[in-house]
Each structure stands twice: as structure tokens, then as C-alpha cells.
Amino acid sequence: MFEEFKKTLRLCTTCPSLCQSACPVFIQDGNKSHSPWGIMNILNRVRKKEMPFTPAVAALTYQCLGCMACSEQCEHDIEIPPVLLSARAKAVEMDIAPDPIKEYIAKFHRHNNPHARDLLKKLYNTLPARYFKKSASVAYYSSCTTIHRCPEIIRDTFSLFDKLKIDFVTPYADPIQCCGYPLITAGAEYDFVDLAEVNFHSLKKYKLIVTGSPACAYTLKTTYAKYDFKLPAPVVSINQFLKPYLKNINYRLKKNVRTKLMYHDPCYLARHLDEHELPREMIAGASGTQPGEFYNNRKNTSCSGHGGTYPIIEDNHACEIIKTRLDECTEKKINMIVTQCPSCIHKMREHGRKFIVKDVISYINDCVEEPEGEYQDARHSRARSTP
């Protein structure tokens, strides 16, 4: 078992755990068995048949956020998450995954998303009917967590499209509103493949896929390709898509947006997609103010603690991790946090009620005043019918 990772597992086992100081899980719980080195050491022993792959060992593989902070420190360019995802897939296949993970997967199957809700219905209720265009060649992929937790991001995105006269994008409106990232991180690999295949056939008609969720962007672009569902259309972040439109922006900027704010780099955007300067440039360009910085920023950002399935099994630790991030805002006397991950936004709001927490696009939309007479705010025109 795990022979395909032999080289990686051996390198980690003989390493003096150089990356543990960057691992949010180890920093939070101090348990050496939960450090990248600790988990890899145990898996290497399973590989060498020195111990069996038991439910306890399987549970260890879920002690990871998938944040890739360890890889930034690793001299051998090792990536821990792919090894752990493979081990989780084995755990699910052997039916030895932790019970909360089994329940999470079962919950997912109710509506093909982790929130067990009809999210297409909610998407239709989020935007006026005029935005849903059957003939559009560019799809905006909302993300299940954005629809469920932060639907204002979707409204703000289409409001900004209106201001920038972008009228050729449609919200992706198929029954499945999840890319499958929760399944793959839970270890439900076969279920992920089934879902990815359905999404692949629905998405392949578009010429461009735009998403405001970094985890969705990475999954649709990279994980789908890994499972032979390479989408013919490019998948781009909303920032990359908007960049040329914002460059020539000729709108009046609101004067009341010069709030002291900090930008939090989501792991999937800054590390997995290598996008850290563009959101800062957009914020500075729209507001005339450089965002403040966390001590750990850009590719060295600290995870908010809610990556993958970690909060499903370690909710208390996940909450402590995000509180540490928020404490830094208190220390720096900041009252607004701007970021770009629906899970970070939702959890930062939950744990940091004194802060205003906004998505980058919502912030930009707030900054840019509407051109006179042409903008109709989507928030004020809810009356709509399902197309």
C-alpha cells in the first residue's frame, strides 16, 4: 500500500520535520502525530507493512487542511495533500474513514453539495431572471458555498458586470452547483469522478468559465484534468477575467471607502493558483488605498482553518485557527477584512462579528459608483421568474 509514494514518504520520514512550524494544524494542537512529518512517518510504516492501515491511521490523514503551507518550506518540493487524499480514498474504499466523514459524504448525496440544499433554486432566487442567458458563451461558476453562505458576492459580481458593461456572462445554472471539491477532500473519489463527469458534459459548451471561488477554480482546472475531464474552455479566476475591464475603468470612485482594511490571502488563491498580487492591485486601484498586510501573507499566508474536511472532524481547532488570524486584525486596529474564499468569509464573519468581512469583488463593487442612468441594482429587482 502507498508504494506509489515511496520516495516522498521516505524523504519525509528522514527529514527533521522542517515544515512543521508552518503547519496550522500542528501549530494549533501541538500533536507531533498531526504534523506533516508525523502523518507521513506513520504512512511510511504502513507502506513497509510494519503496521496495518487501521481506522486510527485513516483518521490521521484527515488532520490536514490541504493548505500547502508545508510545501512552501520544503527543500524537496514535496506536496503532502496529494498523498493524504490518496490515503483518504483508500480509507473510504475500505470503509474505515471517520464516522463524521461518512456522514458528510452521505449528506452530500442529498443534493449533490455539502450543504444538502437545492442550490440551483437558491441561485435563481439570488439574481433577477435577466442575468440567466441560455446563449451566453461565458459561464460564471458561483460555487456551492458562495450560493449558500455568501450570495451577496454573486449579486455584487453581476452588479459590477453591469457597471463595466459586461453583458455576455451567465450564471452557471445546472442542477449540480458543486465542483466536487468536498468529495475529493473527503476521500470519496469514485463519487467525485461521477459528479465531475456530469459537470464536464454540462460545462464543455462554454468558451470560458469564470469563478470567484479559488477552490472551484483549482478543482475545475487541475483536478478535473487529472481525472481525464480536462475542460476545453479555460477556467479563470474572476480577478483575471476582470483585470482588462478594470484597467480602463473610468468610473467615479466613492469617497467613503477609505476604511483601514487588511487583505487575507486564501490558500487556494495564493498558493494553489499563485495569484496574490492581482487582488491587491485591484483593491488599491479601485480605492486608492493599499490594503494592510497580515504577518503571514502572499504565498506564506496562514490558512483560516476551514480548508477541506478539517472542520468536519476538528471544529474546535478550526475555530481556534481562525481566531488567531482575527486576533491579528484586532492587534492592528483593523475593522475590515477583504478576502476571496466563501469559507473564509463565512467563518470570519461568524467568529469576528466586530469586523466587516467582504469578498474582493464586493469591495470593488462598493468602491465603483454606477454610471448615471445605466445601472440597475440587482438587489432592488428581485421580482423574477425561474427561466
The answer to the question of residue 153 lying near ligand SF4 (CB under 6 A) is: no
Interacting residue with ligand SF4 among 57, 58, 70, 188 (CB under 6 A) = 70
Interacting residue with ligand SF4 among 2, 5, 28, 37 (CB under 6 A) = 37
The piece of 13-21, 53-61, 183-191, 345-353 that touches ligand SF4 (CB under 6 A) is 13-21
Q: How far apart are CA 214 and CA 267, in angstroms?
A: 8
Q: Using alpha carbons, select from 174, 177, 157, 297 the residue that is nearest to residue 241.
A: 157
- What kind and span of H or E run contains 140? strand 138-141
The answer to the question of residue 312 lying near ligand SF4 (CB under 6 A) is: no
Contacting residues for 261 by C-beta, under 8 A, at least 6 apart: 283, 289, 291, 292, 334, 335, 336, 337, 338, 363
Q: How far is the CB of 44 from ligand SF4 (least distance, A)?
A: 10
* Terminal Cα-to-Cα distance of the chain (whole angstroms): 50
Range 157-186, binding ligand SF4 (CB under 6 A): none
CA angle centred on 43, ends 40 and 48, rounded to 5° = 125
Range 38-57, binding ligand SF4 (CB under 6 A): 40
Please state, in angstroms and as integers, the Cα–Cα distance from residue 291 to each residue in 69, 207, 258, 281, following that order.
22, 34, 10, 9
SS3 143: coil
Contacting residues for 365 by C-beta, under 8 A, at least 6 apart: 156, 157, 159, 160, 163
Q: How far is the CB of 156 from ligand SF4 (least distance, A)?
A: 30
Cell of 45: 510504516
DSSP state of 207: S
The piece of 75-83, 153-161, 334-342, 375-383 that touches ligand SF4 (CB under 6 A) is 75-83
Closest to ligand SF4 by CB, 38 or 292: 38
The piece of 36-44, 204-212, 276-284, 291-299 that touches ligand SF4 (CB under 6 A) is 36-44
Q: How far is the CB of 322 from ligand SF4 (least distance, A)?
A: 14
Interacting residue with ligand SF4 among 43, 61, 66, 213 (CB under 6 A) = 66
Contacting residues for 343 by C-beta, under 8 A, at least 6 apart: 145, 149, 215, 304, 306, 307
Contacting residues for 147 by C-beta, under 8 A, at least 6 apart: 119, 122, 123, 126, 154, 177
The answer to the question of residue 286 lying near ligand SF4 (CB under 6 A) is: no
How many CB atoms lie under 10 A from the CB of residue 387?
12
The answer to the question of residue 321 lying near ligand SF4 (CB under 6 A) is: no
The piece of 62-70, 171-179, 257-265, 335-343 that touches ligand SF4 (CB under 6 A) is 62-70
The answer to the question of residue 69 lying near ligand SF4 (CB under 6 A) is: yes
Q: How far is the CB of 242 from ligand SF4 (least distance, A)?
A: 29
Q: How far apart are CA 228 and CA 167, in angstroms?
A: 32
x/- site string to ligand SF4, residues 16 to 35, per CB under 6 A?
A: -xxx--xxxx----------
The answer to the question of residue 252 lying near ligand SF4 (CB under 6 A) is: no
How many CB atoms lie under 10 A from the CB of residue 175?
12
Closest to ligand SF4 by CB, 65 or 357: 65
Q: How far is the CB of 340 from ligand SF4 (least distance, A)?
A: 19
Q: How far is the CB of 14 from ligand SF4 (least distance, A)?
A: 8
Closest to ligand SF4 by CB, 66 or 182: 66
x/- site string to ligand SF4, residues 80 to 99, per CB under 6 A?
A: xx------------------
The answer to the question of residue 9 lying near ligand SF4 (CB under 6 A) is: no
Chain-centre distance of CA 118, in angstroms? Answer: 20
Q: Which residues bind ligand SF4 (CB under 6 A)?
A: 11-12, 15, 17-19, 22-25, 36-37, 40, 64-70, 73-74, 76, 78, 80-81
